[in-house]
């Protein structure tokens, strides 16, 4: 890709939720394309092996780890100041931080009628309100600079409901439920994307949603079989499937694209 149309040499990017599952992948794609990256995550989170490998490969001059709770404006403003002092005003923001509940998460689950309000509230606070707060803080710096691309990470479940049959082979009492607030919070992100896109278009800021389908990553064989049977392309997404769409939205190749949702799901939501 060196020298190609998706190069980001000289760009400064911020990735939230950078220590988690997809965060290092987004950061790695941006780094490979030439950007400097601030990887931002919650103060209680520690970088995993993939993020640490990126640090070793690119060094402090290209990859800056930082901490902030996406629900805490003061921490986010400190992180934004650090980014500008270390690199420059960011021109790319990947709003990746979010809460989900995989089937193998310890602690059990709830029957639908028993889900505490606080569980739903926490999902919305991080996935939607936190994303908005990050966009406020870093978007303000972008507006002052007069350019930028904000990429909000959505989900196929912003468009469709989870199929509970994907999980009915998993021993669990009560049966595992994909958190209902997760898809609702991601649907809110899609609408918020449109709001910010129309508001900031005249300021040189583009805002789009990138919504992955199921991403391959340690799921059990029964789940993969049932999920892939529902996908027209017959497989789950790999990290490589997501890098190109991210770089498209981050680069000038999408200079006339804003307010849209780019769904990368192998056709899952086409049926």
The fold adopted by the segment(s) 12-264 is Rossmann fold (3.40.50)
User: Residue 154: which residues within 8 A CB-CB, separation 6 or more?
Assistant: 186, 189, 190, 193, 209, 210, 211, 212, 261
Note the pLDDT of residue 3. 58
pLDDT tens per residue across span 69-88: 999 999 999 999 999 999 99
For residue 245, is pLDDT > 90?
yes
How large is the average pLDDT for residues 44-54?
A: 96
pLDDT, averaged across the chain: 95
| Model confidence pTM above 0.75 | yes
Note the pLDDT of residue 109. 78
Neighbours of 45 (CB within 10 A): 16
In angstroms, the CA 98 to CA 5 distance is 30
Note the pLDDT of residue 102. 72
Q: What percent of the chain has pLDDT over 90?
A: 89
Active site residues: 182
Per-domain boundaries in the chain? 12-264
């Amino acid at each position: 890709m060196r020298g190609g149309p998706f190069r980001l040499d000289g760009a400064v990017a911020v990735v939230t939720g950078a220590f988690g599952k997809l965060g290092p992948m987004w950061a790695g794609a941006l780094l490979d394309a030439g950007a400097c990256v601030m990887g931002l995550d919650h103060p209680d989170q520690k970088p995993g092996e993939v993020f640490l490998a990126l640090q070793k490969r690119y060094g402090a001059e290209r990859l800056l780890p930082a901490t902030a709770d996406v629900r805490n404006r003061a921490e986010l403003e400190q992180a934004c100041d650090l980014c500008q002092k270390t690199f420059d005003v960011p021109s790319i923001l990947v709003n990746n931080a979010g809460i989900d509940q995989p089937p193998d998460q310890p602690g059990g689950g709830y029957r639908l009628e028993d889900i505490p309000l606080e569980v739903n509230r926490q999902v919305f606070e991080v996935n939607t309100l936190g994303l908005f707060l990050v966009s406020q803080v870093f978007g303000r710096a972008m507006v002052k600079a007069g350019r930028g691309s904000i990429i909000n990470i959505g989900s196929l479940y912003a468009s469709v409901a989870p199929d509970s049959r994907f999980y009915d082979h998993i021993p669990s009492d009560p049966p595992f439920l994909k958190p209902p607030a997760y898809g609702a919070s991601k649907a809110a992100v899609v609408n918020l994307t449109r709001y910010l896109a129309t508001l900031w278009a005249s300021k040189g800021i583009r805002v789009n949603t990138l919504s992955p389908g199921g991403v391959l990553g340690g799921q059990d064989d029964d789940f993969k079989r049932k999920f892939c049977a529902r996908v027209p392309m017959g497989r789950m997404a790999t990290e490589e499937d997501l890098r190109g769409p991210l770089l498209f939205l981050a680069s000038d190749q999408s200079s006339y694209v804003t307010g849209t949702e780019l769904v990368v799901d192998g056709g899952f939501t086409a049926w």
